[in-house]
Amino acid sequence: MTEVKQKHLLGIKGMNANQLETIFQTADNFLELLQSPVKKTPALRDVTIANLFFENSTRTRVSFELAEKRLGADVVNFSSSSSSVKKGETLIDTVNNILSMKVDMVVMRHPAPGACRFLSKHIDAQIINAGDGTHEHPTQALLDAFSMRNHFGGSIEGKKVVIVGDIKHSRVAISNIHALRLLGAEVMVCGPSTLIPKNIESLGVKVNTRIEEALEWADVANMLRIQLERQDARFFPSLREYTRLYGLDKNRLDALNKDLLVMHPGPINRGVEISSDVADSGQSIILQQVENGVAVRMAVLFLLAQGNL
């Protein structure tokens, strides 16, 4: 058994399958706790955590804050839009000022790839990456893999997962690929060739630009949002064209004649990459993913704080 004790969670790359399984087993316990009337444990009552969000977020921010509060931690929230970052303060100065108020852990989302690693080299606190530009979003990949694992009865070894959409700009896709490969799943990416990074096969994934073939192959479809905010060029003619060629709607789903599991990390653009009737169907576990996210983030925070990850 390879043992890696890590101080931070900066990405899935570099982790091993045992670490992921430790997170999942711990998350199983926290999920049980969250489903009980108590919902809370004082496990991190001596820990202070700062949530630093330099980029918009709904799910990740609320999920981390709930996870921290369910663990009894003291929590402080920071959002760049209402801070002195607007007055020209640097990232390190901002963070050091917050840390001088005796913060133990920092959960950070930032638009720059590598921002969390950079910070980890300059400050003493433990850092958890809540999404850094197009680089990684490790807790999203962990909650996605945990949701698949629970759906399939405890293992995703040999399961076929297709990630559909804007792979080029997606930190979720990259972190998912690393996590799913570690857990023995087969992974395919599907989308317009302009939105698939060159050499992505080197990560051990298949590529298919035809969604019908990709869905036919898959047990799970993880549908991604088109990240218009990260695109500095036009990668396809129009959103309507994208939906026609790559959107998952009821016709495409019904044509498969099998129980494809439908996932989406959110936020959803209804009617673009996924139709409302599919997003809200019995084959979709989108809200289950969000529920599981709190338990998975509790597990990550707890294990890191104990030095057991």
Question: By the criterion CB under 6 A, which residues form the site for ligand CP?
Answer: 57-60, 131, 137, 140, 265-267
Cα–Cα dist 223/176, whole Å: 12
The nearer residue to ligand CP, 19 or 140, going by C-beta atoms, is 140
Q: Which is nearer to ligand CP, 59 or 117 (CB)?
A: 59
Cα 250 to Cα 276: distance, rounded to the nearest angstrom: 9
| DSSP one-letter code for 157 | T
The least CB distance from residue 165 to ligand CP, in Å, is: 13
Q: Scan for tokens 């840390």, then name that residue.
A: 99
Query: At closest approach, how far in Å is the CB of 258 from ligand CP?
Result: 27
Give the residue with the Cβ less far from ligand CP, 140 or 243: 140
140 vs 147, which CB is nearer to ligand CP? 140
Q: Judged by CB, which is closer to ligand CP: 178, or 186? A: 178
* Closest C-alpha to 61, from 8, 128, 130: 130
Distance, in Å, from the CA atom of 21 to the CA atom of 184, rounded to the nearest integer, reads 12
> Which amino acid makes up residue 194?
T
Helices (H) and strands (E) in the chain, counts: 11, 9
**Residue number with CB closer to ligand CP (43 or 108):** 108
Using DSSP, state whether 209 is helix, strand or coil.
Answer: coil
Reduced to 3 states (helix: H, G, I; strand: E, B; else coil), residue 2 is coil
Alpha-carbon dihedral angle through residues 301, 303, 304, 305, given to the nearest 10 degrees: 80
Alpha helices in 86-209 (DSSP H): 91-99, 115-120, 138-151, 171-182
Taking the least distance from each CB to ligand CP, the nearer of 23 and 43 is 23
Instruction: Pick between residue 133 and residue 186 the one whose CB is nearest to ligand CP.
Output: 133
CB of 216 to ligand CP, least distance (A): 27
Residue pair 308/4 in contact by the 8 Å Cβ criterion: no
Coil, strand, or helix at residue 263? Answer: strand
Q: Least distance from C-beta 31 to ligand CP, angstroms?
A: 19
Nearest distance from C-beta of residue 297 to ligand CP, angstroms: 11
DSSP, residue by residue, 259-277: --EEE--S---BTTTB-HH
Q: Which helix (H) or strand (E) holds 71?
A: none
The minimum distance between CB 265 and ligand CP, in angstroms, equals 4
Residue 132 CB, nearest approach to ligand CP (Å): 12
Q: Find the shortest distance in angstroms from Cβ 11 to ligand CP.
A: 15
> Taking CB positions, which residue lies at the least distance from ligand CP?
60
DSSP SS3 for 80: helix
